[in-house]
Amino acid sequence: MKSENSIHILPPQVHNKIAAGEVVERPASVVKELVENALDAGADQITVFVEDGGKQLIEVIDNGCGLVKDDALLALERHATSKIVSEEDLFALKTFGFRGEALPSIAAVSRFIFETRIREVHEAVCITMDDDHPLQVNATGAPVGTRVRVRDLFYNIPARRKFLKTTGTERGAILDCLNRFSLVHPHCSFTLTHNQKSVFKRTAGSDLRLRLMEVLGRETGEELLPVSGGNSTAGVLTGFTSPPVLHRSNRRSIYLFVNNRMVKDQVMTSAVLKAYQGLMEKGRYPVSVLFLTIDPSLVDMNVHPAKEEVKFAEPGRIFSLVRQSILEALSGYPGSKTTGATGNDPFTALILPSSDHGRVESSAQPDLLPAWQPDSRMAADSYTHGSIHEQPEQYMCEADNNMAGERSFFSSMQIIGQVWKSYLVLSHGDALYMIDQHAAHERILFDQLQQQMGTINGSQELLLPITMDLSPDELAVVDENSETLNRLGFTLAPFGNYAVVLSGIPVLAKDYDPRQLFSEVIGDLLQSSNQSIRNLPLIDELAAGMACRLAIKASDALSREEIELLLIKLDQVNVGQTCPHGRPLYFSMSRYEMEKRFQRR
CB contact at 8 A, 63 and 145: yes
Question: How confident is the model over 448-486, as pLDDT tens digits?
Answer: 898 888 777 788 899 999 998 887 778 888 988 889 999
CATH 3.30.1370.100 fits 459-550, yes or no: yes
Average pLDDT over residues 398-405: 46
Which residues, other chains included, contact 223 with Cβ-Cβ below 8 Å and sequence gap of 6+? 242, 243, 246
Is the confidence at residue 416, as pLDDT, over 50? yes
Query: How far apart are the C-alpha atoms of 127 and 103, rounded to whole Å?
Result: 12
Q: How confident is the model at residue 10 (pLDDT cuts 50, 70, 90)?
A: low
Which residues, other chains included, contact 233 with Cβ-Cβ below 8 Å and sequence gap of 6+? none
Lowest mean pLDDT among 89-103, 201-215, 417-431, 571-585: 89-103
Which residues, other chains included, contact 412 with Cβ-Cβ below 8 Å and sequence gap of 6+? 406, 428
> What does each C-alpha distance from 392 to 248, 482, 513 come to in angstroms?
32, 35, 34
| 3-class state of residue 570 by DSSP | helix
Query: How far apart are the C-alpha atoms of 228 and 330, rounded to whole Å?
Result: 12
Query: How far apart are the C-alpha atoms of 178 and 173, rounded to whole Å?
Result: 9
Query: How far apart are the C-alpha atoms of 119 and 67, rounded to whole Å?
Result: 9
Q: How confident is the model at residue 128 (pLDDT cuts 50, 70, 90)?
A: very high
CB contact at 8 A, 312 and 298: yes
> What does each C-alpha distance from 503 to 134, 136, 486 come to in angstroms?
58, 57, 11
Q: Class assignment of domain 210-329?
A: alpha beta
Question: How confident is the model over 303-315, as pLDDT tens digits?
Answer: 666 667 888 999 9
Average pLDDT over residues 28-37: 93
Is the confidence at residue 254, as pLDDT, over 80? yes
Homologous superfamily of the 12-202 domain (CATH): Histidine kinase-like ATPase, C-terminal domain (3.30.565.10)
Q: How confident is the model at residue 1 (pLDDT cuts 50, 70, 90)?
A: low
Average pLDDT over residues 4-18: 65
Question: How confident is the model over 530-575, as pLDDT tens digits?
Answer: 655 555 688 888 999 999 989 998 889 999 999 999 999 998 887 6
Is the confidence at residue 338, as pLDDT, over 60? no
Is the confidence at residue 268, as pLDDT, over 80? yes
Lowest mean pLDDT among 180-194, 388-402, 467-481: 388-402
Is the confidence at residue 149, as pLDDT, over 50? yes
More confident residue, 392 or 32: 32
Residue 441: the pLDDT is 94
Residue 492: the pLDDT is 93
More confident residue, 441 or 479: 441
Q: How confident is the model at residue 80 (pLDDT cuts 50, 70, 90)?
A: low
Is the confidence at residue 223, as pLDDT, over 70? yes
CB contact at 8 A, 68 and 117: no
Q: In this structure, what are the phi and psi dihedrals at residue 246, rounded to the nearest 5 degrees?
A: -110, 110
Residue 167: the pLDDT is 87
Q: For the packed helices 208-216 and 167-184, what is the interaxial angle rounded to 10 degrees? A: 170
Question: How confident is the model over 493-539, as pLDDT tens digits?
Answer: 988 777 899 999 999 888 889 998 998 899 888 877 665 555 568 88
Is the confidence at residue 200, as pLDDT, over 50? yes
* Most confident region among 57-61, 176-180, 549-553 by mean pLDDT: 57-61
Q: Which residues of 15-48 are buried (b: 16+ CB within 10 A; e: fewer)?
A: ebbebbeebbbbbbbbbbbbbbbbbbbebeebbb
CB contact at 8 A, 539 and 487: yes
Average pLDDT over residues 433-458: 89
Domain spans in the chain, listed from the N-terminal domain onward: 12-202, 210-329, 368-448+557-597, 459-550
Query: How far apart are the C-alpha atoms of 59 and 301, rounded to whole Å?
Result: 27
Residue 248 pairs in a beta bridge with 285
Query: How far apart are the C-alpha atoms of 329 and 345, rounded to whole Å?
Result: 33
More confident residue, 67 or 83: 67
CATH 3.40.50.300 fits 368-448+557-597, yes or no: no
Residue 307: the pLDDT is 62
Is the confidence at residue 24, as pLDDT, over 80? yes
| 3-class state of residue 226 by DSSP | strand
Distance of CA 452 to the CA centre of its chain: 27
Query: How far apart are the C-alpha atoms of 428 and 356, rounded to whole Å?
Result: 29
Residue 289: the pLDDT is 97
Is the confidence at residue 406, as pLDDT, over 60? no
* Most confident region among 5-9, 133-137, 184-188, 396-400 by mean pLDDT: 184-188
Average confidence score pLDDT of the chain:
80
Tell which residue, 299, 288, 294, 301, has the closest CA to residue 321: 294
* Most confident region among 48-52, 357-361, 394-398, 494-498 by mean pLDDT: 48-52
Residue 413: the pLDDT is 93
| 3-class state of residue 315 by DSSP | helix
Is the confidence at residue 341, as pLDDT, over 80? no
Please give the sequence-ordered ranges of beta strands (E in DSSP) within 284-372, or none if there are none.
288-293, 299-300, 311-312
Residue 261 pairs in a beta bridge with 258
